Amino acid sequence: MTGPSPRILGAILAGGQSSRFGADKALALLGGKTLLDHVAASLAPQVDALAVVGRAYADINSIADVPRPGLGPLGALAGALRYAVEGGFGAVLSVPCDAPVLPGDLRRILSGDGAAYLRDLPVIGWWPAMLARPLARWLDDDNPRSVRRWADTVGARAIAVDRLPPNINTPADLAALGG
């Protein structure tokens, strides 16, 4: 007999500099809604709670990067994992604020034994909350800030998908998606 499924925190990583985009891409409009709103709408049905990491936003809980801003996606993930531990969540499903169309079965694709991430978009990942301390140590030791590199050190599975979610990095990417 198995117990209840652990609660899952959906973490939208939104503290980046948007340097290739030239403006705050989390707030860029696609069909009259911000990219961040699109991501939240895609992720919400797959998780028990949502949070935005790296900024305050509307009515969604805000989480700070850990140990400080400016560490890229790993600092955001560290903040989400710490919050997950403190809030009693079993895992974090992380997504970037610039992937407005997520697969409806993303949780199923990534969940399972241990950590996993999309091979070609590693900021989309499934991270057991117990990885909070290992990630904090990784960042404290000033290791490389590559999500893929850290994920490999904790034995995360790299999952290949037939169709990668669109990722908006430039105004041309947004225009191609209809924005």
**pLDDT tens for each residue of 37-66:** 999 999 999 999 999 999 998 889 999 999
Mean pLDDT of the chain: 92
Query: What angle, rounded to 10 degrees, do the helices at 72-87 and 132-140 form?
Result: 140
Question: What is the band of 136 on the pLDDT scale with cuts at 50, 70, 90?
Answer: very high
How would residue 96 be classed by pLDDT, with cut points 50, 70 and 90? very high
CATH number where 83 lies: 3.90.550.10
**How many beta carbons lie within 10 A of that of residue 108, not counting itself?**
10
Residue 62, classed as helix, strand or coil, is strand
Q: What is the pLDDT of residue 1?
A: 45
Cα distance between residue 148 and residue 14, in whole Å: 18
Residue 3 lies in a domain: no
State which H helix or E strand residue 35 sits in: helix 35-43
Report the alpha-carbon distance of residue 55 to residue 49 in Å, rounded.
Answer: 17
pLDDT band with cut points at 50, 70 and 90 for residue 20: confident
Nearest Cα to 108, choosing from 48, 47, 163? 47
Q: Determine the longest span between alpha carbons in the chain, in angstroms.
A: 53
Establish if 2 belongs to a structural domain. Answer: no
When pLDDT is averaged across residues 139-149 and rounded to a whole number, the result is 93
Domain containing 83: what range?
Answer: 8-176
Residue 159 resides in a domain: yes
**Confidence at residue 49, expressed as pLDDT on a 0 to 100 scale:** 97
Instruction: Give the tokens for residue 171.
Output: 């105004």
Looking at residue 114, its pLDDT comes to 94
Q: Give how many domains the chain has, as a whole number.
A: 1
pLDDT(21) > 90 = no
Confirm whether 54 is domain-assigned: yes
- Give the N- to C-terminal CA distance of the chain in Å, as an integer: 48
Residue scoring higher pLDDT (179 or 110): 110
41 part of a folded domain: yes
- Give domain status of residue 160, yes or no: yes
CA dist list (Å): 14 to 37, 52, 95, 125: 12, 6, 9, 15
Pairing of strands 91-96, 121-128: antiparallel
Instruction: Evaluate whether residue 1 is within a structural domain.
Output: no
pLDDT value for 95: 98
pLDDT at 17: 65
State whether the Cα torsion 114-130-101-106 is positive or negative.
positive
pLDDT (0 to 100) of residue 58: 84
Mean pLDDT of 121-148: 95
